[in-house]
Structure 1
């Protein structure tokens, strides 16, 4: 029987990374400072967002484990044989491929880089119980340190290169919004309108980023009762005169998420709906004015809460008022430390990127029923913020037809 390798190097083609090598060197230097501060000898990162942030490689798990192993000198992505040479082309640093000839080959290749009997940094909010047990079995760590909170803090502070990519994503989201607005008409289905926005964005991303990988760009376009939740999937419901509509465009560029979200009405808006819509727009503008260095997420939340409470609308609030942007997605990644919620005390700093997105959901049967949401992306600057979303909001612009 021919001996089959447990792992090997399959490198072919030129490197094609979302950012320059210097960007990854700075990120890894930050990770190694975290490791030194926590006396961690080797970091084994397993989440899609951290593997992508520190290496550029955005993996497709499909039930298989992946990792980035970082030591004081090494930076190695660990990928499955099904991916061929793509991980090596998309990874800063080295890449090793594990085979499926034997169980646990993933951990054998991790061990070849990480060694045994060392203090290991890992992501407690991502690694499963089963994989944690496998780590202990194969690496015999002398200590396990959760580095997820510190890596999140690093990701929350965006570099100039990241902000440039996010700015481009916001512009693409605006273009998708225009395509959606043009497709809205009585009788059109949510899915038809959604596809118009998605196709426009994917073509624009390919134009702006010809060396990128294209995946995961999507649209949620909701109408009528379907607007009651921010993440309700698209359906085949046909649009009707007087419908409340929710436009949501989400371009994805090399793992970086951006978004545009707007309330619209088809043809006309009734008086009760207009009153709620205008209140939500006013809360949106108040929130934008509060996003500046030195403000805490909890303080911003409290002021918007007071605004809604004064108008007897706070009970209709659906979720927190905003969140961070960067390497995140609807199915991976989240910078929970930078959300506009009552229990988040993070102080806003220049370089952070955050949304303002108040939403009110009025139940069916009540005047103005439906979900109202506006969403802009803002860079925190030295003296305030810069709004990088251009698509207009409010009744003056978004009563369509």
Structure 2
């Protein structure tokens, strides 16, 4: 009987173009290795989609299987499942090992082959599940385990020029989707129909701008009426009615990098109280953008916008924090929680950070002006005023649909 390996190399075909040049990935790995050395870590096992993609370029599809990237002072090896064929090797920076399904624990045998046993190991404490941690202990018997997720997050927060260039492209694609949505809005249309128009326009635009990329995960949340009360409410088949408040949300995904455009609109003229709330939220949005300068903390930004809304009697309708970082993330992976505009985040803004400004007010159903009001722009923090890379217009003068 043929012996079945636990893992093997499968360099099938030629290496595919990655989102960034090899030098970009080497710079990222060098930063991670510095953090490892400072923490006394001999080998790191990264298991999250965002960190595997950030350091290797490969964005995996788990489907119930484990994936990883093992980083040592000298190597960086992607560990992927056999179901993916040669794609992990083609679309990763450096080398890859493929593990097989022929015996339980083969993922961990592949990890052990690279990381060794009895080492001082780094893991992602916010991602490695309890069951996986038990397997790690059995197969790797680490001398110690250190959480390196916070250090990796701090590194991802500081965007490189190449990342900023990709994020600019994403913001422009989001605008394309926004215009397609606006053109599709009409009385009687379903939310799903309007959403598909925006998504299709963005998919085509991404393929035009990035002809050698992979295409997946671009989406739209288009909400109407009561469905606007939450920022992440899914699309429904509700039909648009004259007088509806609308929420346009486009999310193009380019090689794991998420960008967003979010706008309040009305189908027909808004009533007096709706207009007052909308204009107040726009004013908070513009005030918030003016605060995004080096030296201010995320908490200070949140507190100042809180005061702005409290003066107008609207703070009790605030829905969530006022913005977040951009990078490798989507609605199901990745988060740079250290760069969110909330009262409990003390991170100081620095040039090169990329962050949104997105105040939202939700007026409950049954009250005058009911609905969710939200504007969202993407800002690059510079030495001086922030650079707004979102182009789609906002406010009542632009987004009342006749």
Range class of TM-score, shorter chain:
over 0.9
2:124 & 2:259 partners in 1: Cα distance? 25
Partner of 2:299: 298
Give the SS at the match of 1:76. strand
Partner of 1:199: 200
- Using the TM superposition, give the Cα deviation of residue 13 of structure 1 relative to its aligned residue in structure 2, in angstroms: 2.0
1:115 & 1:5 partners in 2: Cα distance? 18
Stretches of structure 2 that go unaligned for 5 or more consecutive residues are none
2:153 & 2:395 partners in 1: Cα distance? 34
Partner of 2:7: 7
Partner of 1:283: 284
Give the SS at the match of 1:395. coil
- Using the TM superposition, give the Cα deviation of residue 382 of structure 1 relative to its aligned residue in structure 2, in angstroms: 1.2
Partner of 2:357: 356
1:124 & 1:36 partners in 2: Cα distance? 18
Partner of 2:44: 43
Name the TM-score, length of structure 2 as normaliser. Answer: 0.99
Q: In angstroms, what is the RMSD of aligned CA positions? A: 0.5
Partner of 2:191: 190
2:385 & 2:53 partners in 1: Cα distance? 30
How many residues of Structure 1 are paired with residues of Structure 2 in the alignment? 401
Partner of 2:388: 387
Partner of 2:131: 130
1:380 & 1:86 partners in 2: Cα distance? 36
What are the equivalent positions in structure 2 for 1:60-71 lying under 5 Å apart? 60-71=61-72
- Using the TM superposition, give the Cα deviation of residue 384 of structure 1 relative to its aligned residue in structure 2, in angstroms: 2.4
What are the equivalent positions in structure 2 for 1:83-162 lying under 5 Å apart? 83-162=84-163
- Using the TM superposition, give the Cα deviation of residue 109 of structure 1 relative to its aligned residue in structure 2, in angstroms: 0.4
2:401 & 2:154 partners in 1: Cα distance? 41
Partner of 1:77: 78
CA deviation profile, 1:357-391 (whole Å, cap 9, x unmatched) = 00000000000000000000000011121000000
CA deviation profile, 1:180-201 (whole Å, cap 9, x unmatched) = 0000000000000000000000
Name the TM-score, length of structure 1 as normaliser. Answer: 1.00
2:13 & 2:359 partners in 1: Cα distance? 46
Partner of 2:321: 320
Partner of 1:232: 233
Stretches of structure 1 that go unaligned for 5 or more consecutive residues are none
- Using the TM superposition, give the Cα deviation of residue 12 of structure 1 relative to its aligned residue in structure 2, in angstroms: 1.4
1:185 & 1:172 partners in 2: Cα distance? 23
1:330 matched to 2:326: no
CA deviation profile, 1:245-282 (whole Å, cap 9, x unmatched) = 00000000000000000000001111010000000000
1:26 & 1:53 partners in 2: Cα distance? 11
Partner of 2:347: 346
- Using the TM superposition, give the Cα deviation of residue 14 of structure 1 relative to its aligned residue in structure 2, in angstroms: 2.1
1:196 & 1:329 partners in 2: Cα distance? 20
2:35 & 2:51 partners in 1: Cα distance? 14
